[in-house]
Structure 1
């Protein structure tokens, strides 16, 4: 960002890599909170007598809160700045989770978890804006890739820690663990984060609005592409374990190790595609490559599964899983860059909202396909999602036109 066109937003010394680290910790911490209810399902089902449907609904409560609040947090970040919104959201999440740890009644617990999700949503747009604001374009892909790795890291932490904490039969220790992580993140953000300077908003010579959604359809196309590309991601993460155990007759331990490896390699893949986008000077070209590769990986996974070649199917599953998450950082960075400094908060909120809504329909829809056609055929049909997304990806020429206009 040019220092000649930017206005100073604070007196503290900005440390971009420290702010990136704090942003990753904050996002990973809220991911732990949002993911924790899913790992409580066995306890809620066996100890509290909930049906699986009821426990699943409770597990979805934080995600509902996030969907309701993402765009609002983005707009607030555009207006009041990243640091304030990060700290406010993290404090709200901490308080809500602390209340959840002592509240009685399943309905009350669900409502408080919705509030926790509302607070957690603040990190999505605000931490993304910190990365875009403090890292130059030639390193932004790497930085955003690191930042986007926080989601699988948070899920992995919850998967490892939550079952052990609830082994005694109470959910409070797991919730308090999440509250401690988020509370510490709030303090770190208050101390480390410095709002990026922004160019002064100038009046367009032609009198037109600076709303990027009115400029052309580029942002809407990226949103739609991301919704389609989230389908294979959530299909593989949701049904991978049960496919290996029930469909390919693997042990639960072996299946769990493969799924965990896919998550960790996926986090590394996000960083790798970010570096690649920096090298080629484009987010959209690698995004197209990822979509095409996803089609091939899903079809190979389906084929080896249909042939009952378990090892080959497992290898292709890991590859397909890595590819299925690789687009996330690319699209997220592209949205922020096309939206510009005065609209990126709202645009990133809209981006995440679309992805969450898309993910919400995956489990019931793909589950029904599996019930009728089996796993291999369902995975092959899911390959239609990246196939439909590929022609919708805007041309990389749009990035050049944006840079020239800027």
Structure 2
């Protein structure tokens, strides 16, 4: 069956369900930043205390990402994503069941730990069901979940929080997580996996070279300006420009929608180029320029500063999908869950540390100084990005074929991005099985 057939439509449908599940996770993980002004007003918290509380879910997430990735490699994507999202919804419910900042922060961390399941496993769905010529777009769709989750958070959470309080606002992500978990359980099928031949060696770790370590490090660095800009954008508009929390949330919802579309565009660009890492390096440099412009504009309080904030909010987000795609492809199907978990862990370590650390800078020298520091960081990420790794992966793949590579590897998962085939060919060795996904078996036991 060709890409236009029933199987392909179901792949895209499953991708949409997986993206929705990750969107629910992101409303909870990152949308809480839009409630920082509410926390400061209602709970009397300092900026540092409020920033620390809203990063509790991210702290929980970091503790379990690699474990969920290993579970997805072993047990399959469907059960991992569904169970994690249902547990996350239950933990959020416990967080709002009692008063107390410690109680709430603890259960927010537990909920973040459970929601890590979808971060680790949904990337495997993309790797398993989509060939290299579509993965950039597919991963771009998957990575749209974060900015779209922020859109939902920006539109819904500040009005609820302003009217009814922080704890009541948490009911929205609680219900969203439960519904997303049920949707995954009913509609997502694990990609087919071929059983390894008797006596075949287990796939070697992709961490024998520094390539993945460099991509992980570059991604973690790029997250710092992203989360500084996003976490304090609402507070910046409220404190520095006199906006209300609701009006700031509405504007930032529009910005995050543009950021979501930018990930899809970048994914399509990477498919067309046949490279993930060249776009990643170029976008790192664009990131540095955009945040530097924001730092200069933030020295004043006029409308150019607001425009620069909006541009930086998109520029600091758009690179993420190509980084995840490169990790999954270079790791290979047998290691993709763990590699994505490690990549996510590094990014979320940076995401958790950045708001509290930069709150001290903002509280001292101010926003312009914080943005100025963030403008330098993407330059280091650009230098770390190993743009030659994809060509090296292609040479290694050919040598692996000559030696008899692991037959249990999913077709296409370890093929270099640059391997091109004629569109529409009925014999595309790099395309995953086009059979009805609902008939797909789980992982070989």
In the alignment, the residues of structure 1 paired with residue 41 and residue 250 of structure 2 have an alpha-carbon distance, to the nearest angstrom, of: 25
What secondary structure sits across from 1:326 in the alignment? coil
In the other structure, the counterpart of 2:190 is 195
Q: Does 1:301 align with 2:294?
A: yes
For residue 224 of structure 1, the aligned residue among 217, 222, 239 is 217
Match of 2:72 in 1: 77
Give the TM-score normalised by the residue count of structure 1. Answer: 0.86
Structure 2: stretches of 5+ with no match in the other structure = 1-6, 401-414, 416-445
Q: What is the aligned-residue RMSD (CA, Å)?
A: 2.9
Determine if the alignment matches structure 1 residue 316 to structure 2 residue 316.
no
Matches within 5 A, 1:1-400: 15-35=10-30, 37-39=32-34, 41=36, 46-47=41-42, 53-167=48-162, 169=164, 173-201=168-196, 210-214=204-208, 216-244=209-237, 246-247=239-240, 249=241, 251-252=243-244, 258-306=251-299, 308=300, 310-396=302-388, 397-400=391-394
1:210 CA drift (Å):
0.9
- The answer (yes or no) to whether the contact 1:40–1:171 under 8 Å persists in 2 is yes
Cα deviation 1:208-258 (Å, max 9, x = unaligned) = 9611112x11110100000111122112213334445555x4644775555
Deviation, structure 1 residue 18: 0.7
Q: Distance in 2 between matches of 1:381 and 1:48?
A: 30
Give the equivalent residue in structure 1 for 2:433: none
**Unaligned runs of at least 5 residues, structure 1:** 1-11
CA distance in 1, matches of 2:156, 2:301: 33
Question: Following TM superposition, by how much is the alpha carbon of 1:368 offset from its aligned partner in structure 2, in angstroms?
Answer: 3.7
Name the CA shift for 1:310/1:45 in 2 (closer, same or farther; >3 Å). closer
**Which position in structure 2 is the counterpart of 1:4?**
none
User: CA–CA distance in 2 between the matches of 1:239 and 1:284?
Assistant: 29
Shift of 1:96: 1.5
Check conservation: 1:261, 1:318, Cα contact below 8 A.
no
| Alignment match, 2:441 | none
Q: Secondary structure at the match of 1:261?
A: helix
Partner Cα separation in structure 1 for residue 234 and residue 169 of structure 2: 23
Contact kept? 1:36, 1:174, Cα under 8 Å: no
CA separation of 1:323/1:103 partners in 2, compared to 1, >3 Å: closer, same or farther? same
Describe the shift of the 1:104–1:256 C-alpha distance in structure 2 as closer, same or farther (beyond 3 A): closer
- Bigger helix share: 1
The superposition leaves residues 42-93 of structure 1 with CA deviations (integer Å, 9 ceiling, x where unpaired) of: 5555555666555444322211110111111001111100001011101211
**Higher mean C-alpha displacement, 25-34 vs 123-132:** 25-34
Structure 1 pair 37–244 and aligned structure 2 pair: CA distance change class (3 A):
closer
| Aligned residue-pair number | 391
State the Cα deviation string for residues 237-282 of structure 1 (Å, max 9, x = none).
13334445555x4644775555333322111111110010011111
